[in-house]
């Protein structure tokens, strides 16, 4: 299995880097554009994409003089054309247009579409051998093996943009693979870290969206509150760095200052620290293999004073344990885990299920999937996409009974 390089194979960075940002109007997109804005002489924007936010996309396209922009919603093409009138920016709409954006000849692509919808465009960037900064963890959770294999075959460089994985990427450069004993991913614990199980069960959307440290998109913020996000990250780390589930630990660290650590055979633990601001890992990806000037506040440890750590509580946050179960089961189980979670989060946002039912729907979908004999080796990304679709259908079918059941 292929993994990202542990030691940086340093190559000279050329003058101007052409970049595309998939999911430019989202939270990661916003942080990426902020960094690009700070160094206009270093970057040329090739393509930008959004789902439905035509106004935001057109504004960015004009500001950065992008060559091509695309919205996923096919019904918004005429609106996009009108918003770009008087410019020579080419545009498209629909899923194919998002893939086309990824296929355009940018050296560096930020993959920051939310959810499994980001898989096909990210694969398109991978297949042409680009440097792909990967924020969209669902790509790896759905189809990690094929994603990493296709990257290796095409000579693409996957740069982990998720803060924990970027921390591991940096710390791993301190040793060799055979010297590594385990990696440790930190988790803030989210807004419900200290809540009783009964209160977590009844948590509202507004409460779930109040993350103590990070400002992020809606889906990942809810995933952080359920700790499903940490589960997705365990799976992501497994594919990125070719690690077994036993080599990946999670520790709750409420201050979110240490993002990831690597323990080596001599018991040295190498950590990466920084203010909880996604612009730091994105800057690392954007500059790689060099370093650029960051935009996050400098870390002031004396002001922070105390860093604390706790073991994760699988009873109150069962979604994290389910991720390990899915990883061990293999054969498409992580794809099912992700698909069921996306259905559950959408149902929670629509107030169809309680917060506590998110993990129950994921568990029930995984169990039903296994009971039905559906676990089977996947042979390509299209297999993973088919599992994703079928698992969504199964989760949607199970939703009414999960919604009706008391905890």
Query: Whole-number minimum distance, CB 124 to ligand NDP, in Å?
Result: 13
Residue 64 CB, nearest distance to ligand NDP (Å)? 15
CB of 139 to ligand NDP, least distance (A): 8
Q: Which helix (H) or strand (E) holds 263?
A: strand 258-264
Tell me the three state secondary structure of residue 184.
strand
Is residue 112 a contact point for ligand NDP (CB under 6 A)? yes
The residue at minimum Cβ distance from ligand NDP is 26
Residue 29 labelled as part of a binding site: no
Stretch of 51-59, 143-151, 293-301, 325-333 contacting ligand NDP, by CB under 6 A: 51-59
114 touching ligand NDP, by CB under 6 A: yes
Nearer to ligand NDP, 218 or 367 (CB): 218
Sign for the CA dihedral angle at 358, 360, 362, 368 comes to negative
Least distance from C-beta 347 to ligand NDP, angstroms?
17
Q: Where are the beta strands (DSSP E) in 51-88?
A: 68-71
DSSP, res 255: T
* Size of site (CB under 6 A) for ligand NDP: 30
Among 46, 100, 103, 138, binds ligand NDP (CB under 6 A): 138
* Number of CB atoms found within 10 A of residue 380's CB: 13
Q: Which residues pair with 71 in a beta bridge?
A: 50, 93
Binding mask 195-214 for ligand NDP (x = CB under 6 A): -------------------x
- Using CB under 6 A as the binding rule, whether residue 190 contacts ligand NDP is answered as no
Q: What DSSP assignment string belongs to 287-324?
A: HTTS-----SPPP-HHHH-----B---TTT-HHHHHHH
- Known binding residue 162? Answer is yes
25 lies in the site for ligand NDP, by CB under 6 A:
yes
Query: 257 to 296, contacts with ligand NDP by CB under 6 A?
Result: 278
- Residue list 215-254, contact with ligand NDP (CB under 6 A): 216-220
Sign of the torsion formed by the C-alpha atoms of 85, 88, 94 and 98:
negative
Q: Is 29 in the site for ligand NDP (CB under 6 A)?
A: yes
Per the annotation, does 217 bind a ligand?
yes
Query: Quick count: other Cβ atoms within 10 Å of Cβ 143?
Result: 31
From residue 175, how far is each of 5, 267, 379 by CA, in Å?
A: 12, 12, 33
Residue 373 three-state SS: coil
131 labeled binding residue: no
> Which one, of 53, 80, 55, 52, lies nearest residue 68 by Cα?
80
Stretch that binds ligand NDP, among 2-10, 107-115, 258-266, 337-345 (CB under 6 A): 107-115
Of the pair 172, 220, the CB lying nearest ligand NDP is at 220
Residue 207 to residue 17: CA distance in whole angstroms: 41
- Is 230 annotated as a binding-site member? yes
Residue 28 in contact with ligand NDP, rule: CB under 6 A: yes
State which residue, 97 or 402, has the beta carbon closest to ligand NDP. Answer: 97
28 versus 172: smaller Cβ distance to ligand NDP? 28
Is position 129 annotated in a ligand binding site?
Answer: no
Please give the Cα distance from 155 to 126 (Å, whole number).
8
The residues, ordered by sequence, that sit 6+ positions from 371 with a Cβ below 8 Å of its Cβ are none
On whether 303 is known to bind a ligand per the annotation, the reply is no
| Residue 277 CA to its chain's centroid (Å) | 15
Element (H, E) at 108: strand 108-111
How far is the C-alpha of 104 from the C-alpha of 90, rounded, in Å?
12
Say if residue 289 is preceded by a cis peptide, omega within 30 of 0: yes
- Is 162 a residue that touches ligand NDP (CB under 6 A)? yes
| Min separation Cβ 217 and ligand NDP, Å | 2
Closest CA to 370 of 398, 400, 331: 331
Residues that bind ligand NDP (CB under 6 A): 23-29, 49-53, 72, 98, 112-114, 117, 135-138, 162, 214, 216-220, 278
Q: Could you list the residues known to form a binding site for 1-deoxy-D-xylulose 5-phosphate, using ranges.
A: 137, 163-164, 188, 211, 224, 229-230, 233
Residue numbers belonging to the annotated binding site for NADPH:
25-28, 53, 136, 138, 217
Q: Residues marked as binding?
A: 25-28, 53, 136-138, 162-164, 188, 211, 217, 224, 229-230, 233
């Amino acid at each position: 299995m292929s993994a990202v390089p542990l030691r940086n194979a340093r190559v000279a960075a050329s003058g101007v880097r052409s970049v595309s940002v998939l999911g430019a109007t989202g939270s990661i997109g916003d942080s990426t554009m902020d960094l690009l804005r700070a160094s206009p002489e270093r970057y040329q924007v090739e393509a930008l994409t959004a789902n439905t936010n035509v106004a935001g996309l057109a504004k960015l396209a004009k500001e950065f003089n992008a060559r091509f922009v695309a919205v996923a919603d096919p019904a918004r093409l005429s609106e996009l054309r009108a918003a770009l009138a008087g410019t020579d920016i080419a545009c498209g709409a629909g899923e194919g247009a998002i893939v086309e954006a990824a296929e355009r000849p940018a050296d560096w692509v930020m993959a920051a579409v939310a959810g499994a919808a980001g898989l096909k465009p990210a694969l398109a960037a991978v297949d042409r051998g680009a440097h792909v900064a990967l924020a969209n963890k669902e790509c790896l959770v759905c189809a990690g093996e094929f994603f990493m294999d296709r990257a290796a075959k095409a000579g693409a460089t996957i740069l982990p943009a998720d803060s924990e994985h970027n921390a591991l990427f940096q710390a791993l450069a301190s040793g060799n693979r055979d010297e590594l004993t385990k990696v440790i991913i930190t988790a803030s614990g989210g807004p419900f870290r200290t809540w009783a199980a009964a209160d977590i069960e009844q948590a509202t959307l507004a409460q779930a969206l109040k993350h103590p440290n990070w400002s992020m998109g809606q889906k990942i913020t809810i995933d952080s509150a359920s700790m499903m996000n940490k589960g997705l990250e365990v799976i992501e780390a497994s594919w990125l760095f070719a690690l077994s589930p036993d080599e990946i630990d999670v520790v709750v660290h409420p201050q979110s200052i240490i993002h990831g650590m690597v323990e080596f055979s001599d018991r040295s633990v190498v950590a990466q620290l920084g203010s909880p601001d996604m612009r730091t890992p994105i800057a690392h990806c954007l500059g790689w293999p060099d370093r650029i000037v960051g935009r996050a506040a400098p870390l002031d440890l004396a002001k922070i004073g105390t860093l604390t750590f706790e073991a994760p509580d699988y009873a109150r946050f069962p979604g994290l344990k389910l991720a390990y179960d899915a990883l061990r089961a293999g054969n498409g189980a992580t794809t099912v885990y992700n698909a069921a979670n996306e259905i559950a989060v959408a149902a929670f946002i629509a107030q169809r299920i309680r917060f506590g039912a998110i993990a129950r729907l994921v568990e029930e979908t995984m169990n039903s999937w296994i009971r039905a004999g559906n676990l089977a080796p996947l042979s390509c990304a299209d297999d993973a996409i088919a599992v994703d679709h079928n698992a969504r259908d199964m989760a949607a079918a199970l939703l009414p009974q999960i919604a009706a059941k008391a905890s």
